[in-house]
Each structure stands twice: as structure tokens, then as C-alpha cells.
Amino acid sequence: MAAEINFMIGGEAGQGVQTIGFILAKALSRAGLHVFADQDYESRVRGGHNFYRVRASDSELQALSEQLDVLIAIDQNTIENHHGEVKEDGVAIFDHDKLKVAGKKLNSLSIPLENLAEKITSNKLMANSVAIGAAIAVGGYAFELLDKVLKEQFAHLGKYVVDSNVKAAKAGYDHAIQSKSEYIRKPIKSIKLNHRILLNGNEAIALGAMAAGCQFIAAYPMTPASSIMEYIAEKAREFNIVAIQPEDEIAAINMAIGAGFAGIRAMTATSGDGFALMTEGYGLAGATETPVVIVIGQRPGPAVGLPTRTEQGELAFAVYGGSGEFPRAVLAPRSIEDAFYVTVKAFNLAEQYQIPVVILTDHHLASSYQTVNRFDLQKVKIDRGQLIPDKEAKNMTEYKRHKFTDSGISPRLIPMPGRSLVVTDSDEHDEAGHMIEDAGIRTRMMIKRMKKIDGLRNEIASPRSHSRPNAKITLIGWGSTYGAIIEAALMLEYDRLSVNVLQLNELWPFPALAVTSALTKAKINIVIENNATGQLSQLIRAETGIKPTGNILKFDGRPFSPSYIVKEVKRQVA
């Protein structure tokens, strides 16, 4: 049986919940455990109620648990909202003089968070560091584990801040130890994980883009995509990358297309509403056959929706969006590790097929942290497709950017001094790239462009499946719901209900054959999606002719938990 411990830290925005939550996750990762963490926050800078969850285990984790072992409450709302999630043998850490538990059954350990912070550092705001010290003590770990991470995380703020935080955390740690509380645990045994890294989905995408040779990102800030550009911008100077924050999303995609036309790998990142502004450029990339990678970080819509929450509402938008018809690829990473490799693939497909490629992620994947195998940079292969080499380019007398070919792919020349001229147009054009009105050329050019889908279809990997040969039920999901669905499948199995799982991460061109073969094996096919209309379900019907038997849809802005899926599956098959 796997051993695990679940923490939650709750407080107002501005109380440092996110900072200490991450430090706790990092410390537990360093302790040699698998970690999964995420934050739930409101679209505000101060006040409100935010919480950060950290789950650590000696076996692999893909999702969060709804049951808490340790609840750290910095404000009263944390107790009011989450006391019910604390397990019978769990404990809540808070200051008994400040917060009340009136009428609630809750084991607790009182730590005077603010008083200790004030006494040790003369700064009440350090209460969060006191809390984290206490949390590490309750987990049964040595203070040294925390000490090192605190020093690293606050190093950029100078020695005074580092020392104060370490002192505050030590005070919390000592106070918890001295309490001799019955809730202090034995630590989960380290499993000596080598080559593991702790990061979130956006960091994985940013690293994937950089490894894939992306030299240019233009992006307008919008949750949950902003941190992709922020991470790349931070490293841009060191690695010769240009990161531009332009005036709007329209400029962002047109800049990425301009850079792509000029011959470098370029991307943009936004949310669904930002992508709404980009659809014109999406079509331009299709028409001019210019490679571009677009990350859509989904959040609940329509319009501004819930900016800091999660949803999977833009699948149909990515697959069908844009004026007219043009080939595109839509990829939706199923995990943080997958996000890195899918991003590399996106850049390769964009150049191989000279098309726009969408990476469909969401707030949940973007901002969750997970320990994953260190990315293998040796495995990253940059395939620039049919790019005309320098030598050949020099001798070329007349170049046709949109030359008719069997594959539909026209060899690509980078516009440079001394070379043949490269001409392309958003108007319909002939092989040389000049605008035309001729019906015959128009038809041939459309056929040429659409022909690229045939090759592209073969690049799409089959969905990840978790097969149980005798199972009568298949659960189907896409993208970031993988963790919750796979854990739900294991829980159902424990309850003697065997299910298959089919998780799609490369959605367009749609892997119709693989999906058909998986779905015809089971009697009950339930599609699980974070949206209101069942967009994957509709796509399955359109592309395979199979009507899934059921749906589990959730569109409250919160990610699926495994137990929610278990409950719903049991209800539907009862």
C-alpha cells in the first residue's frame, strides 16, 4: 500500500500562500518523494481566499486527493471552507487565539503563527514561514530539508529576507516539536528518486519550446498562459531568444508569423479569449503556409469567464476555428511530462507541414506542479522539414514558395540576400505566391494545402490506453484530465469494477482508427470532459460515427478529482 501525505495551506491573497506552498512541495520532492501540487486562487491581488495543496507519496502521483492529513490555516476562511476535508486522523495547524473552530470536529495543533513571527523577525507577515516550519515538523521531517529550500527561494531578495524566513520557519518547527503533539508523524520513506524535477505545466511548455529551437515568442499577458512567456523572457538573454510583449494578441500572432516567414521557430501563447482575437492570424498561417505554434491555455468562458479557473472549452474552437478551411494540428498534453515532449513535436509538425499547430492546455495543467522524470534533451530532435539547404538555395534561379507537389508540401526557402525571391500572400495565390482569381489555380491550391492532412494524419500518435481486456467500460478523456481519470480507474478496480481508459493527447487530425478500435471493444463508453457540451464526444461522433454511451461533464471551473469520477461512473453504470 502506497504511503502518502496531503497538505493544504489556506489564507488570503497576499499572505504568501503560494510561496510557502511551493516551498513545501519542493522540500518534499527533495525528500525523495513523488509530489503533486496545485493552487486555487481568485482573480485578485489582496484578500479573498486562496489555497495551495501538496500531495506527496512513495508512489507515482498524477492528481490531487480531496482528503487532507494536514490543514494549515492562516485565515478563518480556511477553517470554514476546508475543515470537512481533514481526515479523522488528520490535523489542522492554526493559532487557537486567533481562529475559531466553534462546533466543528477538528483535531488541531495550535501554533501562534503571527506572534512567533513578530517575536522572532518583528514582521507579522512571516507567519507563513512559521506555518511551513510547523508543517514540516508534523510531517516528521528534519528542519534541514526546509532550510536549504528556503535559502534558495529567497536568495534573490537578499540576506536579511533569507535569514528572517529561515528563523521564522525554525521557530514554527521547534514550537511544533516541543508540543509533543500526537499528530506528529513518521516520515514517508524516501524512495531515492534520481533525475526527478519539480515543475508546472507552463514551465514544461516553455522548456519544450526552447529545447525545440524556438527563438521568438510574442505574447500578450493573459491567465493562464502568461508564465510561459515570463519564463522564456527570463532566460532569453542567456539563450539568444527574443521575447516581445506586443500591444495585443493580434499583433502577437502576426509577429510570430512574420518571424516564422523570416525563417525562425516562433510561437505565441494566450487563453481562449486571446485566441479569439488570433483566429484571423490562424487562417493567415494556413493560407501562407507559415509555421507557427500557438498555446491556448484554456479557462472557463465565454468572454472573460473565470480567469483563474480551469476548463476544456476550446477543443472545437481550435479544431474548427478560423475563416475558410486549412490544415492544422491540435495537440493537448495529458501531463506535465507530456507537455514538454508534445511542445517539441508541435514545433516539428509546424515546420514539416508548414502549418499552424495548437497546443491546447488549461489552467489546471498550466499551474499544477508535479515531480517528473528529468526531460531527456538528447531525445529532442529538431526536424525542420523540407527546408532548402544553403548550397542548393544559392544556385536556385526561380523559386516557387507554393509549388504543387504530391505531398502538398512545397520545399521552403528562407528569404535572404543573394537568394531567389520568396513571395507569399494572404490572398489566394499561384505557385509563385502572387495573388490570383483564376478558378483552376484556386482549386489546385486548396487541394495542395489540404493534401498535407494525409501526411499529417500519420504523425498523430495513438491515444494512451490503460487496457483491461475484460472490462465492459471505457473511460475516454483528453488532455489534462488524464491524472484524475487514471487514478479513478485504479480506485474503481480496487472496488472490483474494471475499466479501460483511453486518453487522447493528439486530437487533430483526429485519430479515428485508433479511437474506433478502442470504443468498439467496450459496451459502455463514457467521455469525461471539463466542459458543458461534450466537445470530444461530438468530435468522436463526427469522426468515427460512434455515439458514446455517456458523459461526465464538469464546468464549474474546478478540475476533476478521482473520487468525483468514481462516484459518477458508479452512478451511471448502476
Partner 1 sequence: MAGTTDYSPAMAIQWCPGCGNFGILTAMRRALVELGLEPSQVLMVSGIGQAGKFPHYLHSHVLNELHGRPIPAAQAAKIANHELTVIAFSGDGDGYGEGGNHFISAITRNVNLTYLVHNNQVYGLTKGQASPTSDFGFVTKTTPKGAWEPLRPLALAVACDCSFVARGFSADIEHLTDIIKSGIQHNGFSLIEVLQPCVSFNHQNTYDWYRERIYRLGRDYDPKDRINAFAKALEWGERIPIGIIYQKDRPVYEDQLEAIKDEPLVKQRLDPTQFEPLLNEFM
* Cβ neighbours of residue 275 closer than 8 Å, sequence gap 6 or more: 249, 282, 294, 296, 314, 317, 318, 321
Nearer to partner 1 (CB atom), residue 389 or residue 417: 417
Nearer to partner 1 (CB atom), residue 101 or residue 250: 250
In three-state secondary structure terms, 374 is: coil
In three-state secondary structure terms, 513 is: helix
Tell me the backbone φ, ψ of residue 37, rounded to 5 degrees: -145, 150
Nearer to partner 1 (CB atom), residue 346 or residue 488: 346
Q: Residue 5: which of 272, 185, 234, 251 has the closest Cα?
A: 185
Q: Residue 117: which of 138, 95, 135, 139 has the closest Cα?
A: 95
Q: How far is the CB of 412 from partner 1 (least distance, A)?
A: 13
Q: How many CB atoms lie within 10 A of CB 485?
A: 27
Nearer to partner 1 (CB atom), residue 75 or residue 338: 338
Q: How far is the CB of 410 from partner 1 (least distance, A)?
A: 16
Nearer to partner 1 (CB atom), residue 268 or residue 535: 268
Nearer to partner 1 (CB atom), residue 156 or residue 180: 156
Nearer to partner 1 (CB atom), residue 426 or residue 465: 426
Q: How far is the CB of 456 from partner 1 (least distance, A)?
A: 23
Alpha-carbon distance 402 to 439, whole Å?
A: 16
In three-state secondary structure terms, 509 is: coil
Q: How far is the CB of 343 from partner 1 (least distance, A)?
A: 12
Nearer to partner 1 (CB atom), residue 131 or residue 252: 252
Query: Using H for helix, E for strand and C for coil, what is the string for 197-215?
Result: EEEEHHHHHHHHHHHCCEE
Nearer to partner 1 (CB atom), residue 2 or residue 435: 435
Alpha-carbon distance 420 to 412, whole Å?
A: 11
Alpha helices of 461-561 — where are they, by DSSP H?
482-494, 512-519, 535-544
Nearer to partner 1 (CB atom), residue 348 or residue 505: 348
Alpha-carbon distance 329 to 322, whole Å?
A: 13
* Cβ neighbours of residue 292 closer than 8 Å, sequence gap 6 or more: 253, 256, 257, 260, 266, 267, 268, 281, 285, 350, 356, 357
Q: How far is the CB of 36 from partner 1 (least distance, A)?
A: 15
Residues at the interface with partner 1 (CB under 8 A): 196-199, 203, 207, 210-213, 215-216, 218, 235-237, 239-242, 244, 246-248, 250-252, 254-259, 261-266, 280-281, 284, 288, 374-375, 377-378, 380, 382, 414-427, 432-435
Question: What are the CB-based long-range contacts (under 8 Å, 24+) for 229-234?
Answer: 229/269, 231/202, 231/203, 231/206, 231/207, 232/206
Nearer to partner 1 (CB atom), residue 256 or residue 296: 256
Q: How far is the CB of 395 from partner 1 (least distance, A)?
A: 14
Q: Which three cell numbers stand for residue 159?
A: 540576506
Nearer to partner 1 (CB atom), residue 51 or residue 375: 375
Whether residue 338 contacts residue 511, with contact meaning beta carbons closer than 8 Å, is answered with: no
Q: How far is the CB of 170 from partner 1 (least distance, A)?
A: 24
Q: How far is the CB of 436 from partner 1 (least distance, A)?
A: 9
Whether residue 484 contacts residue 310, with contact meaning beta carbons closer than 8 Å, is answered with: no
Question: Which residues of 439-549 form beta strands (DSSP E)?
Answer: 464-466, 473-478, 499-504, 506-508, 524-529
Q: How far is the CB of 501 from partner 1 (least distance, A)?
A: 28
Sheet containing 68-73: give its strands across. Answer: 108-110, 86-94, 68-73, 4-13, 47-57, 34-40, 369-373, 196-200
Nearer to partner 1 (CB atom), residue 186 or residue 195: 195
Tell me the backbone φ, ψ of residue 420, rounded to 5 degrees: -60, 155
> Residues in the chain, how many?
574
Q: How far is the CB of 284 from partner 1 (least distance, A)?
A: 5
Whether residue 20 contacts residue 131, with contact meaning beta carbons closer than 8 Å, is answered with: yes
Q: How far is the CB of 326 from partner 1 (least distance, A)?
A: 14
Q: How far is the CB of 344 from partner 1 (least distance, A)?
A: 8
Q: How far is CA 76 from CA 11, 93, 100, in A?
A: 8, 12, 7
Classify residue 76 as exposed, middle or buried by CB count within 10 Å of its CB (0-12, 13-18, 19+).
middle
Cis peptide before 187, with omega less than 30 degrees from 0?
no
Q: How far is the CB of 493 from partner 1 (least distance, A)?
A: 33
